[in-house]
Structure 1
Amino acid sequence: MPAPYRRIATVLVLLVLYVAGGAYSSLLRGGPDEVALFWPAAGVGLAGVLRYGLRMAWFVPLGTLLVHLLFEPVPRTFIPWSMASNFLGVLAGAWLMRRQPMDDLLTVRFGLHALGGSLVLATVSACIGTAGMLQAGMILTEQLPAAAGRWLLGDLLGATSIAPALMLLLPGRAGQRRRFPDSDYASESERLAWNIALMASYLLMAWGGSLGGNYALGLVALPLGVMVWSAVRLPPRFTAIASALTMLLIAGLAGFGTAGYPRATDPLDSLYLLVFLVEVAALPLMLAFAMHQQRVAAGVLKHRANIDPLTGMENRNAFEEGMRPVLSQTSTLPMALAYLDLDHLKLINDTASHAAGDQLIRGVAGVISAHLRPEDRVARTGGDEFALLLHNCTPMVAEDRMRAVLRAIEGYRCGWNGQMLGTTASVGIVTFLPGQADYAQLLSQADAACFTAKEQGGNRVCLASLDAGELLDRTAAMRWVVRIREALEKNTLALYCQSIVPLQSDAETGRHFEVLVRLHDPRTGERLEPAQFMPAAERFRLGTRIDREVISRTLGWLESHPEAAATVESCCINLSGEAVIDEGFIGFVAERLRRSSFPASHLCFELTETSAVRDLARAQRFINQLRELGCRFALDDFGTGFCSFNYLRALDVDYFKIDGSFVRDMHSSPMAEAVVRSINEIAHVLDKKSIAEHTETESQRQALKALGVDFAQGYAFDAPRPMAEYFGVQEETKP
């Protein structure tokens, strides 16, 4: 319907309701000089103006005029007063109520404010109307207080009982911010029972009143109880409609004097009755508003608990809860769980800001949602991670669908401060049949497959296999990560020391040793060597964290034992390849050395040859920056790549540590002996010192000495021992 016709239809509906309310009130009057006991038209006028605006208020005086012309004859001199009283009263009450936000009418706060607005409406209308009655000669001066009180309470009852129902039933702008589905309220059978109970309460109230008695009005408690029931269990409109019907019925019984209820003719009785009815109308509505607010608060908490605020998707908990019924059903249609992780989002956060990263995540979430079918589910399970449940998907179909998602993500661009931001993603997929899989296992497999996709360069899909050996390897590595993190948190990494012994008479004096790490397993009591856990640590980016822990604890021990520290010439500590590319690691070392009493010149960091030559420029910059602090360096496992001789001039280190595999094979392999000799000679040509690792026998020691190697390390001299034992320090045992 066009807007002009819709406005005309709205005005006609309001006008008809207003006139009907006025006609009903006229039936309750005992004569033209008596104020109506109940004025429902006040509620119609207030609801219409609140719903459609002040510009629609002209239907109020028009309706008042029609009521007087058709149903309620009064002196002509009073008609302008009556029209003005209703019109100005509605304007005053609506103006006061519209000063508050109108986005949610079903709150206790707005209900109390509406009660105040209704009181203003009734007061303004009563003052003008009774003044008009006095001027028109309809009442005497001594009757003015009683007439004003009855007029005020009649309008107040009409506004409090009729306006809420119409506000919820009239079409137009929504009167409440959140509407709840029927499932949030009582069932259909309970609603039917409530309707029957409401009608029965009306019949019982009328029948009880017909039996006579001075307290028949107490039967109002019957519909009041039913209204309390609806306020607690049913949508607010049920309470509002019940309140309006109840007031119309009770006012009619008292006004007509039917069903045994005496007609309210005495002014004081009328006031008592109206005050009682206003309370009966308002209290259930306030209770309904309070219950509505409680539902809104519960809905907000549920929304926050289940919905990710950034993307509007389900969060991890909600997704898992939704997966349980899917996994418990029996079906022959295959399904797939996909785990999607954005690639290199940290670069966006570091270069453009975290706000830019959030904007990109929000956009990618929209891209993912656009590629889902209606029956699929998606959730944001972490910072830049998403989980997808794909229905009716074989492995091939799941791969094709996720590749399409990856292409869309790769092509997506997000504008931010003049930049165009983009990213890619990696996906792990595991397929399954409902009823034959466990969610935790599926998620672990999909996550592991996603990690493999990232290791292969990202922007690709990897399909998990339940029996794949690679998956078992990843799972084992993940278990190591849990144990390493637990060891770091509980401080169970143990520091061992092994001597680096000079072989030549002109070698440096003082104690030379290497700090070695052992992981204490609290379950078995074993001391695990780095070869068992460091690959997993480096794979999952825990290498630098271990490096920091070892440096901090080594320096801390030496600082607390100055006598032992004074004997140290060189303390060697291994660094992972991850430390070379960690921008914050050098700052950490500088800060820790600034606070340390142990000289930085006696600290030697060991870098493996492979990690150094992987990014030669970065490695040299790393070495130079730590050298400025006074630290020394050793190139560990040297010789495993013979072509690395080309890089020796670029890497400014102090020691070459000859890989132990050559030292062990010296007596059985002329090639190994030649490698050891060559490395030692090149070290001396470059004015460096050489250290032979894994020297295990006296014959190896003698051979290395004869070749001119400067230092040796291995079981031929000593086995790794706890730091305190190595220095011969007796430490107190913790209780």
Structure 2
Amino acid sequence: MRRFLIFSAAYFVGAWYAAAFVGVGADVTLLWPPAGIAFAVTLRYGPRWSLIAVLPVLLMHWLLAPVPPIFLPFSLLSNVLGALAGHYACARWKDLDNPLSMRSGFSILLGGMVMSLVSGLIGSSGLVAAQMLDAHDFWPAWAKWGLGDLLGIMTLGPVVLFFTDPAPKHRARHRPIATYASRREKTIWLGCLPASYLAIYLVGIQSSPYAYGLVALPLGVLLWSAIRFEPIWSILGNSATVFVLISLAGLGLAGFPPPHDTLEAAMLLGSMCVFANVPITLMAAMAQQRAANLRALRRATTDEATGLPNRAAFESAMKLAMIRTGRQQGLAYLDLDHLSVINDTTGHAAGDAMLHGIGSLLRAEIGMDGEVFRIGGDEFALLLIGDAMQVREQVDHVRQAIEQYRVGWHGRVLNVTASIGVVPFRAGETGRRDLLSLADTACFTAKELGGNRVCNVDDAHGGPLDRTEAMRWAVRIREALDRGLFELHCQSISPFAGAGTHEPRHIEILLRMRDPASGQLLPPGQFIPAAERFQLGVALDRHVIELALRWFESRPEAAARIGLCAINLTAASMVDESFREFLIARVRRSTLPARKLCFEITETSAARDLSRAQELIMELRALGCAFALDDFGTGFCSFDYLRSLDVDYLKIDGSFIRNLADSELSAAVARSIADIAHVLDKKTIAEQVENEAVLQTLRTLGIDYAQGYFLHRPQPLDDYFRETGDAFAPATAISATG
């Protein structure tokens, strides 16, 4: 009821303003602002709201503009039925929450024109019926009446629609990020708009023929607001300007002659309608463009699965966090434990449902105390405000909430836990990338400790720092692969006298990396652990095999003199299907005979998938390749593996060989390995032979081959074959005296 009374009062005020124009150019008002009010509230609240015109129209004709009784029903019907006709013309327009789109704007304009046509026909008919106009003046009066309504709709309709928006949050979407003008610019604009009115007035009172040309001044100011300001500035500015200009021209103020007849009035109203439409159209186009830009930005910075800000938004937020001086903050890196199990057992749809639920849970738990981002597959980042203790408590509360969270999926109850790494920081103390690296490594430490726990950098006891160093090694390895900085060395594997004395020399290929930064030649112990930790083992194995085979293929004389070339394979390569296909294809097309290749695998690498390991061994042995089981004897099931893995050589682990001369236990292990190998018709190789005493003990134990610094120090392949020359075959065997 209160809303009805407010709009009825506004309708009456508009009618009072319009009554001032009655008698100017005939008995039709020059401007009818109530049309905009009636049209907008009917669109917003429904057809019954067209009745708000009844009481104000009756009061107007009673108090302000008396008319013959016969005209009164025509006046009422023109206002009520006109609003209804405009409403039904816009019946297909559903987007009432967004009156600023171009599509909605044209729908409003169409409805306004229909309302003006209907209202003008009824009202002009009433004027003729009441003998207030001659019949031959019907069409000019209809044009003036309709254009007066249309101008009123274009002037007040957008204002009413904007302020009757039921959800202010929808209006907020038309203020996308910092694309609008500053407060200072708006202040200047507020001075320019009335200054343009004043300029028109001052020139007008001088009776200058150029006074009408100054209408371009307020139009330019309105176009400025349409491009640079929020929509409400253009809407209100446009309404104020139309009222000012129509008052100056229609009432003959400031020296402007009022229209003398209906035709002049219609021409004036037509030009004012065009004037009012231009800024509003431009404003709607700019608002729609800004809204589209905002939607595109949100799509680019929002994770589709969870609705959370994504990695790009996180990077921007971190940049802002790094300039918040004087505030203690915390960065938490959260990784869900075993989400892949859900994906593998119930499908990725279930995993997506879990991710969406966890995203909502995190948003609810953090609230206004921080920001939540999804930065990877099952990884989230939390940017929090508070000291180290507050951040730790909040993050631990989040961890507990995730542990208790459950998702129902097709009769099953799914749950996950989370490993979280936390780094407290202040702006300017640590680099942004270092912070993320520390948080990531703290999270990795939490996961390595069993998961479902929070790990601070300080709590990790060097774990994050170790992982950070390993990550740096991974970067250096990738760079070395790209730049071809890996080099091949080799070490002889020598037979004892009487055990293949005249066979060609056996060698093991050893990898060295040229440091991309310092140029230093690095042994494998410095980079292989990082390569395996960060899934670079397969790439390294491919690179080594390609380098070795290409080296021998380009040097057939060296390939002819070699008996066996041993190449190590990492654990990841043993179960990688693409690597298996690559290796088999590469061996087949190589000019180096497959019988001269021996691939060394470890018990732990084979234990990952014994069936796949044996399948790879069988396929390569069918081509002629040999296999050696490296580090043999270190596992509890070493002898049991011999039943599953058909290898040719057993390389006894160096931990037994180094202390062989002084340890009866080591000697017993080596002897048992040698005895079992001979029973199975396999050869044994003792690695890390470093002195004469060990060598003599190995001879008595019946070991077939020895390898170590005492016999041969690793050297580049080129140097090795250059030094051995044609005489290297007799030098292969270990003499009776060592």
Give TM-score scaled by structure 1 length. 0.84
Matched, 1:593 2:588: no
Paired AA for residue 521 in structure 1: D
Paired AA for residue 546 in structure 1: L
C-alpha distance in 2, partners of 1:398/1:233? 42
Matched, 1:525 2:556: no
SS at match of 2:527: helix
Q: C-alpha displacement at 1:461, in angstroms?
A: 2.2
Within 5 Å, which residues of 2 pair with 1:348-363? Answer: 348-363=342-357
Mapped contact 1:376–1:391 kept (Cα < 8 A): yes
Mapped contact 2:686–2:703 kept (Cα < 8 A): yes
C-alpha distance in 1, partners of 2:66/2:25? 7
Partner in structure 1 of residue 730 of structure 2: none
Q: Which runs of 5+ in 1 are unaligned?
A: 1-7, 729-735
Partner in structure 1 of residue 649 of structure 2: 655
Equivalent position to 2:207, from 199, 208, 212 = 212
Residues 24-62 of structure 1: CA deviation (Å, up to 9, x unaligned): 323212179633222222211221122112342333466
Equivalent position to 2:407, from 400, 408, 414 = 414
Q: C-alpha displacement at 1:663, in angstroms?
A: 3.9
Matched, 1:317 2:310: no
Partner in structure 1 of residue 728 of structure 2: none
C-alpha distance in 2, partners of 1:626/1:54? 79
Q: Which runs of 5+ in 2 are unaligned?
A: 723-738
Partner in structure 1 of residue 456 of structure 2: 463
Q: C-alpha displacement at 1:289, in angstroms?
A: 2.3
Matched, 1:693 2:687: yes
Q: C-alpha displacement at 1:483, in angstroms?
A: 0.8
C-alpha distance in 2, partners of 1:424/1:81? 74
Matched, 1:107 2:110: no
Q: What is the aligned-residue identity percentage?
A: 44
Residues 153-173 of structure 1: CA deviation (Å, up to 9, x unaligned): 222211111111111123635
Matched, 1:90 2:86: no
SS at match of 1:677: helix
Aligned residues: 710
SS at match of 2:458: coil
Mapped contact 1:45–1:90 kept (Cα < 8 A): yes
Paired AA for residue 224 in structure 1: L
Matched, 1:284 2:282: no
C-alpha distance in 1, partners of 2:505/2:223? 87
Paired AA for residue 267 in structure 2: Y
Mapped contact 1:319–1:378 kept (Cα < 8 A): no
Matched, 1:48 2:41: yes
Matched, 1:256 2:248: no
Q: C-alpha displacement at 1:586, in angstroms?
A: 3.5
Within 5 Å, which residues of 2 pair with 1:205-604? Answer: 205-304=200-299, 307-309=302-304, 310-313=306-309, 315-326=313-324, 328-329=325-326, 335-372=329-366, 374-395=368-389, 398-432=391-425, 436-465=429-458, 469-503=462-496, 504-505=498-499, 512-551=506-545, 554=548, 571-580=565-574, 582=575, 585-590=576-581, 592-594=583-585, 596-598=588-590, 604=598
C-alpha distance in 2, partners of 1:567/1:18? 107
C-alpha distance in 1, partners of 2:409/2:524? 45
Residues 561-583 of structure 1: CA deviation (Å, up to 9, x unaligned): 88977887755332333445x4x
Change (3 A) 1:550 1:255: same
Paired AA for residue 246 in structure 2: A
Q: C-alpha displacement at 1:533, in angstroms?
A: 1.0
Q: Which moved more, 1:11-20 or 1:674-683?
A: 11-20
SS at match of 1:106: coil
Q: C-alpha displacement at 1:264, in angstroms?
A: 0.6
Q: C-alpha displacement at 1:194, in angstroms?
A: 4.2
Mapped contact 2:22–2:30 kept (Cα < 8 A): yes
SS at match of 1:213: coil
Paired AA for residue 178 in structure 1: R
Change (3 A) 1:32 1:319: closer
Paired AA for residue 320 in structure 1: M
Matched, 1:623 2:613: yes
Change (3 A) 1:622 1:570: farther
Q: C-alpha displacement at 1:236, in angstroms?
A: 1.7
Change (3 A) 1:128 1:374: closer
Change (3 A) 1:545 1:19: same
C-alpha distance in 2, partners of 1:255/1:399? 72
C-alpha distance in 2, partners of 1:550/1:414? 47
Change (3 A) 1:641 1:223: closer
Mapped contact 1:134–1:141 kept (Cα < 8 A): yes
Mapped contact 2:385–2:391 kept (Cα < 8 A): no
RMSD: 3.9
C-alpha distance in 2, partners of 1:394/1:284? 54
Mapped contact 1:311–1:365 kept (Cα < 8 A): yes
Q: Which moved more, 1:586-595 or 1:61-70?
A: 61-70
C-alpha distance in 1, partners of 2:367/2:494? 69
Change (3 A) 1:46 1:518: same
Q: Which moved more, 1:505-514 or 1:470-479?
A: 505-514
Residues 397-439 of structure 1: CA deviation (Å, up to 9, x unaligned): 5444433322221121223344332222222233455664444
Paired AA for residue 419 in structure 2: S
Matched, 1:151 2:142: no
Equivalent position to 1:169, from 158, 163, 169 = 163
C-alpha distance in 1, partners of 2:122/2:547? 88
Q: Which moved more, 1:17-26 or 1:241-250?
A: 17-26
C-alpha distance in 2, partners of 1:353/1:559? 48
Mapped contact 1:32–1:72 kept (Cα < 8 A): no
SS at match of 2:213: helix
C-alpha distance in 1, partners of 2:483/2:177? 52
C-alpha distance in 2, partners of 1:269/1:485? 81
C-alpha distance in 2, partners of 1:401/1:171? 39
Partner in structure 2 of residue 733 of structure 1: none
Mapped contact 1:122–1:155 kept (Cα < 8 A): yes
Q: C-alpha displacement at 1:336, in angstroms?
A: 3.8
Q: Which moved more, 1:299-308 or 1:230-239?
A: 299-308
SS at match of 1:518: strand
C-alpha distance in 2, partners of 1:507/1:147? 123
Change (3 A) 1:319 1:172: closer
Mapped contact 1:338–1:389 kept (Cα < 8 A): yes
Q: Which moved more, 1:691-700 or 1:675-684?
A: 691-700
Change (3 A) 1:99 1:600: farther
Change (3 A) 1:511 1:59: farther
Partner in structure 1 of residue 731 of structure 2: none
C-alpha distance in 2, partners of 1:115/1:124? 14
Partner in structure 2 of residue 130 of structure 1: 124
